[in-house]
């Protein structure tokens, strides 16, 4: 299970620069995913073999100075609730400000690991100035310059030392599909879950989640056995304003990371909004299976918009990843709930699908011969061999003489051809071109 690290602090201390630096380390190792640049506040990182998720609270604050303080407090409280480790970023140039004191006051009350990161320390003089931050009462600190990158290695070494021990999932947990119902507040997640599992809650066993706030419950319903990952809608926090975008994203992160398939609920009366998109790309970035349920369809005036129009509008927003099942349901009238569960199980099976190398080569090499990659600078790209990698999610590698000349449009062509021939509906696919 991935550890969640939240970066908190007042505006302009360099949180986003540090966030970008941590995420880039990851992108240097793993090809960055196309089409997922929309969500700039969440990313995956890795250091010394330990993978973790990073959430930057900085980008969410909007509005005038006078509401900053309340917003920052809200975000820090939420980060404290949801993250495993907190990085508290302060600015050596300005020293301790009243707002830093406020944040420190919140952080002193918690038992989770807090790392004080003193930013903008780029010379020996500033190293001395950093002593002041002992006064925050949060123990030792680490000095960095997020712009030049100095000190980030030491910071990451310290960070992974304080990661909580997470038990490895049991064989039974690994074998049962894990579904998470995600979506913005009030989309009908709780009603859907209650309708799906029935009031008498067909509970077979309760498996305590790997963290205090993600509970896996094992269900047997309509002949399917699955784990349901408890999510945002079930554990409402009165003190968090429901419409905060940060709230939806932060709450969804853990549920998404713990799931095999994400059931994204959207409110038919509101349409496919920015927050829904953020959650969709969050699931895609984590290589999870996805199915979209348009809930409250019974409340929509049917003459104003047909399912076809509504669906094509959503698909337009999902480009380039449009191979996703969209179902129109009503948790209230229980309309199409069985179908929704059947489709979710199907996405789970698609994600586990393995294609034999000989079969894959037979089909794809013929296609590639008919439509080779375009020549570049008079050089011709030849692809002689391809295979599916033995990874938990579908990844394919194509071996070529000049991999650097194979550009994004051709990779997309290959992905489309794979999808045309094998059912990977609802599942993100990775395509790699390597030297033969």
- Of 299, 322, 352, the last residue of a domain is 352
Q: Which of 59-73, 159-173, 331-345 has the highest mean pLDDT?
A: 331-345
- Specify whether the CB–CB gap between 50 and 100 falls below 8 A: no
Per-residue pLDDT at 357 exceeds 60: yes
**Residues within the annotated binding site?**
9-16, 56-60, 119-122, 183-190, 230-234, 295-298
Nearest by Cα to 278 from 268, 266, 269: 266
How does pLDDT run across 314-327, given as a tens digit for each residue? 898 888 888 999 99
Determine the 3-state secondary structure of 8 from DSSP. strand
What pLDDT sits at residue 156?
92
The per-residue pLDDT for range 9-33, each reduced to its tens digit, is 888 888 888 888 887 744 433 333 3
* Distance, CA of 157 to CA of 144 (rounded, Å): 13
Domain boundary among 162, 193, 220: 162
**Domains of the chain: total:** 3
CA-CA distance, 341 to 173, in Å (whole number)?
19
Among residues 327, 322, 330, the alpha carbon closest in space to that of 342 is found at 327
Q: Give the domain extent around 9.
A: 3-162
Residues 112, 59 within the same domain: yes
CA 47 to chain centre: 18
Question: Terminus-to-terminus CA distance in the chain, angstroms?
Answer: 34
Predicted confidence band of residue 39 (pLDDT cuts 50, 70, 90): very low
332 & 194 share domain: yes
CA nearest to 83, candidates 59, 106, 54: 54
DSSP letter, residue 321 = -
Last residue of some domain: 101, 129, 162? 162
Q: Which segments are annotated as binding site for GTP?
A: 9-16, 56-60, 119-122, 183-190, 230-234, 295-298
Clarify whether residues 323 and 180 are in a common domain: yes
Q: In what order do the strands lie in the sheet with 214-221?
A: 203-211, 214-221, 224-229, 178-182, 261-267, 289-295, 326-328
Q: Are residues 13 and 71 in the same domain?
A: yes
Same-domain status, 376 and 405: yes
Describe the strand order of the beta sheet including 85-91 as a list of residue ranges: 42-47, 50-56, 3-8, 85-91, 114-119, 141-143
The CATH number of the domain holding residue 85 is: 3.40.50.300
Q: Higher model confidence: residue 167 or residue 176?
A: 176
Residues 321 and 339 in one domain: yes
């Amino acid at each position: 299970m991935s550890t969640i690290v939240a970066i908190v602090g007042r505006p302009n201390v360099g949180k986003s620069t540090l966030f970008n630096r941590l995420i880039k380390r990851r992108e240097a190792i793993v090809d960055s995913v196309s089409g997922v640049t929309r969500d700039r506040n969440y990313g995956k990182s890795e250091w010394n073999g330990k993978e973790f998720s990073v959430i930057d609270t900085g980008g969410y604050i909007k509005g005038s100075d006078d509401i900053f303080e309340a917003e920052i407090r809200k975000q820090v409280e939420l980060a404290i609730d949801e993250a495993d480790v907190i990085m508290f970023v302060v600015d050596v140039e300005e020293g301790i400000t009243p707002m830093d004191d406020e944040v420190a006051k919140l952080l002193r009350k918690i038992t989770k690991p807090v790392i004080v990161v003193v930013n903008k320390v780029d010379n020996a003089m500033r190293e001395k100035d950093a002593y002041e931050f002992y006064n925050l009462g949060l123990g030792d600190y680490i000095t960095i310059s997020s712009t030049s990158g100095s000190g980030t290695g030491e910071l990451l070494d310290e960070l992974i030392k304080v990661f909580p021990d997470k038990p490895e999932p049991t064989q039974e947990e690994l074998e049962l599909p894990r579904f998470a119902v995600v979506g913005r507040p009030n989309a009908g997640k709780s009603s859907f879950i209650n309708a799906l599992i029935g009031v008498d809650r067909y509970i077979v066993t309760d498996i305590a989640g790997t963290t205090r706030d993600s509970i896996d419950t094992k269900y047997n319903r309509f002949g399917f056995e699955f784990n349901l990952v408890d999510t945002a809608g079930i554990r409402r926090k009165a003190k968090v304003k429901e419409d905060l975008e940060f709230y939806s994203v932060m709450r969804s992160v853990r549920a998404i990371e713990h799931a095999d398939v994400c059931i994204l609920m959207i409110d038919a009366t509101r349409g496919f909004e920015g927050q829904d998109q953020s959650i969709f790309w969050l699931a895609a970035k984590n290589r999870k299976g996805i199915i979209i349920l348009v809930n409250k369809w019974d409340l929509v005036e049917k003459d104003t918009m047909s399912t076809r129009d509504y669906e094509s509008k959503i698909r337009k927003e999902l480009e380039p990843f449009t191979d996703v099942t969209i179902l129109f349901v009503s948790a209230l009238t229980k309309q199409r709930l069985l179908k929704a569960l059947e489709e979710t199980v199907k996405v789970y099976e698609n994600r586990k699908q393995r294609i034999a190398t000989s079969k894959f080569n037979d089909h794809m090499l013929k296609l590639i011969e008919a439509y080779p990659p375009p020549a570049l600078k008079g050089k011709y790209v030849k692809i002689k061999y391809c295979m599916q990698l033995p990874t938990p999610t579908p990844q394919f590698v194509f071996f070529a003489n000049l991999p650097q000349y194979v550009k994004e449009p051709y990779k997309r062509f290959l992905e489309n051809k794979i999808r045309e021939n094998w059912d990977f509906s609802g599942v993100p696919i990775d395509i790699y071109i390597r030297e033969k």
